[in-house]
Amino acid sequence: VGMALLDRAGNFVRVNPAFEAMMGRSAAELQGTNFLTYTHPDDRRMGVEAGMCLLRGEVDRFQLDGRWVRRDGDIAWARLSVGLAGDDHLVAQVQDITEEQRAKERLRASHGYYAALLNQSTDALVVVDHNGVLRWASPAAERLFGYAANSKAGEVFTSLVHEDDLDRLLRAFHHLLESPGTTDSVEIRVATADGRGYRHAEVVATNRLDDPDIGGIVANVRDVTDRVDAAGRLEWQAMHDSLTGLANRALLLDRLAHAMERSKRSDDHTALLFLDLDRFKLVNDTMGHDVGDRLLIEVAERLVQAARVGDTVARLGGDEFVVLAEGLADTADVEIVAERIRASLATPVRLPEGDVTVSASIGVAFDTDHRPETLLREADTALYRAKERGKNRYELYDESLRLEAQHRLSTEQWVRRSLDNDAVVVHYQPILELSTGRIVAAEALVRLLGPDGRLHLPGTFLSVAEDTGLVVALGAQVIEFATSQLARWRRELGAHAPAQISVNVAARQLSSPQLTEVLDHAVRRAGIEPSSIILEYTESTVISADRSTARIVDALHEAGYRLAVDDFGTGYSSLAYLKRFPVSVVKLDRHFVSGLGVSEEDLAIVKAVLTLGRALGLTTIAEGVETPEQRDLLIELGCDRVQGFLYAPALSPQDFSAMVRRQIRERVTS
Ligand code: C2E
Ligand code: CA
Ligand code: CA
């Protein structure tokens, strides 16, 4: 301890060696000089005032911490304890507290440093005690959640957390309390100060209860709202249709699986309503995709309105929708829903482009075996029947449909087998020139040879072949047969062979790019020219043709193939189509022909078509001619060609040749 004796004016009288060491100055140097000389300027005033108090007798001792300036210029901290020594002197005991002060300064500096860091941090630090009472929060907490600095201190943290997350949070908290040093993390929603919502927070907390400097649980709280939102959006997108916001197939299947599970354990039932808009493609093609999209959005909204609360409405793509209805007592319940849906679509949709009326065909399946795939398939089958039976209606999947579905499945297998086992047979119906009665062409008509040796007509298998796409392979075989048959007739019959052969082309074939290849390959192999092939496609195929189909049709025409519109008059009868497509033959549907001499209306139609055909320079063929009266009327009306039972049904190649030979003989003898 340094000791110094000073006079009343503050001049040093005597000092001990410890004091000398502290001041870095010798006793001789200090003697007679005033203590203020060595006092740090900022501390001089404090020193003088304290000394005055002492001298005036207001205190008999004072203590203060102050700074000396040492000889070497360093600042030294001293703790002075000063008292009176007699009337004329003061005695100061001086303790060097420089080290202590430096340590404090360092600490202060480092506090500032950490405070600044905390302030910078985007994560908030929160300290709670073992009761869950908030003790302290870093400034970031205010930025994240809006609570003014430590305004929530003293409250239990549970008041700030979303109730659905509390259980999880409390479990984590109790886990933390079990032992010091434990860390746990949990994602929770924290209420914002404005009371309007929650932010998603990732909390990583560590038990520091036994750390004397902290004595609490320290939680690092990070705002992950953006990440959760983005993840939520992605999740939402994965499960919903982006156009309508309805559930998509994935979500539907998920809900369906759950519904089936539930209905297995309860008395109520689940039903699936499979919807397909009628003639949506026509709207899309004629009014544009934009209108189509808006129509789908409107339909989606109406379906949601018509469905019951809790039902799932999904869009499977295109114009296919599904309503999953749960908790039904019996089929009557689901019929009510189906009717309501149909009714909801009845009001025309108002669009800037004009009103559009939509209708839907609905297939309904009611759960029986609790398998989601079954329900979907059955609803689809019922939908198919609704379409077949005239659209804008619903059909319930029932036993007859189950049998029909089974039948279609076995038919599909039969067609497949027939393709593999050379059981495809083609017969040819003669087409005659009306003015001369000569066979000028043949229509190739496909049959399947059954295991029983009987020939089966297209009516028994064609629609299945079309639906399954098997018609593409089937059609390719027919083209092969027909072209090589024509070549063979030419060899056998010479100039009497039919000049052309007609082949029916299904819509599926026409939209398949293979068709051109198959045809080119067939005519090359048979050594015949494309112009001797007439491709017959129906009016409805042409109407529903999209751009790429139209391109294929154009390419076929370019390549020299002749195109015929089959069953003309049965579809939309828009004669405009005849001009839009490179058609050279028009075939009058047999229903109008059969009406000749019976129905005035049919006569008028036949007349109109033949007149138009002539005007457009087309070859006209009347099919299904069965009576001489029909023939005579057709001659009168100027039809070019005929085919029908009056002349011959479809014949085997041999019978066809025989008929041609008979004609030759008859002509020679007559
Ligand atoms: P379609 O193109 O209208 O063919 C004419 C159908 O009418 C043939 O029936 C034919 O046997 C029948 N028919 C011919 N003359 C008469 C008649 O005087 N009175 C009546 N009532 N019917 C007559 P088929 O062979 O049963 O073929 C039915 C349909 O199957 C065809 O109708 C055609 O659309 C389709 N089809 C036949 N072969 C093929 C093929 O190879 N490919 C494709 N895609 N479709 C084919
Ligand atoms: Ca035909
Ligand atoms: Ca026809």
**Angle made by CA atoms 578, 579, 580, in degrees to the nearest 5:** 95
Please tell me the predicted confidence (pLDDT) of residue 82. Answer: 94
The interaxial angle of helices 470-493 and 514-526, nearest 10 deg, is 20
Instruction: Kindly report, residue by residue over 621-638, the tens digit of the pLDDT.
Output: 999 999 999 999 999 999
**pLDDT score of 314 more than 90:** yes
Q: How many residues does the chain have?
A: 670
Please tell me the predicted confidence (pLDDT) of residue 270. Answer: 92
**pLDDT score of 572 more than 60:** no
**pLDDT score of 576 more than 70:** no
**What is the distance in A from the centroid of ligand 3 to the CA of 586?**
10
Instruction: Kindly report, residue by residue over 417-465, the tens digit of the pLDDT.
Output: 999 999 999 999 999 999 999 999 999 999 999 988 999 999 999 999 9
Rounded CA-CA distance 646/629 in Å is 10
- What is the H or E stretch that residue 495 is in? none
Please tell me the predicted confidence (pLDDT) of residue 621. Answer: 97
Instruction: Kindly report, residue by residue over 247-303, the tens digit of the pLDDT.
Output: 999 999 999 999 988 888 888 889 999 999 998 888 888 888 889 999 999 999 999
Q: Lowest-pLDDT range, 148-162, 303-317, 346-360?
A: 148-162
Pick the residue whose CA is nearest to atom 14 on ligand 1.
644
**pLDDT score of 645 more than 90:** yes
**What is the distance in A from the centroid of ligand 2 to the CA of 472?**
16
Rounded mean pLDDT of 645-664? Answer: 97
Pick the residue whose CA is nearest to atom 22 on ligand 1.
624
Please tell me the predicted confidence (pLDDT) of residue 87. Answer: 83
Q: Pseudo-torsion of CA 111, 116, 122, 127, nearest 10°?
A: 30
Please tell me the predicted confidence (pLDDT) of residue 667. Answer: 84
Distances (CA, A) of 573 to 278, 293, 392: 19, 28, 22
pTM metric for this prediction: 0.59
**What is the distance in A from the centroid of ligand 1 to the CA of 507?**
16
Ligand 1 pocket member 446 (CB < 6 A) = yes
**What is the distance in A from the centroid of ligand 2 to the CA of 511?**
18
**pLDDT score of 169 more than 70:** yes
Rounded mean pLDDT of 298-313? Answer: 92
Confidence of residue 571 (pLDDT cuts 50, 70, 90): low
The residues, any chain, with a CB within 8 Å of residue 574's CB and separated by 6 or more, are 543
Instruction: Kindly report, residue by residue over 69-122, the tens digit of the pLDDT.
Output: 988 888 899 999 999 988 889 999 999 999 988 888 888 778 887 777 777 788
Identify which has the larger pLDDT, 152 or 132: 132
Q: Residues with Cβ within 5 Å of ion ligand 3? A: 566-567
Q: Is 581 helix (H, G, I), strand (E, B) or coil?
A: coil
Instruction: Kindly report, residue by residue over 379-418, the tens digit of the pLDDT.
Output: 998 998 999 898 889 999 988 888 888 898 999 999 999 9
Q: What percent of the chain has pLDDT over 90?
A: 57
Confidence of residue 215 (pLDDT cuts 50, 70, 90): confident
Ligand 1 pocket member 504 (CB < 6 A) = yes
Pick the residue whose CA is nearest to atom 19 on ligand 1.
624
Q: Where are the alpha helices (DSSP H) in 136-182?
A: 139-145, 163-178
What tokens appear for 463 in the block?
A: 């629609």
- State the chain's mean pLDDT as an integer: 90
Of ligand 1's atoms, which has the minimum distance to the CA of residue 650? Answer: 11
Q: What percent of the chain has pLDDT over 70?
A: 98
For CA atoms 408, 414, 418, 423, the dihedral sign is negative
What tokens appear for 624 in the block?
A: 């299904």
Confidence of residue 574 (pLDDT cuts 50, 70, 90): low
Pick the residue whose CA is nearest to atom 28 on ligand 1.
458
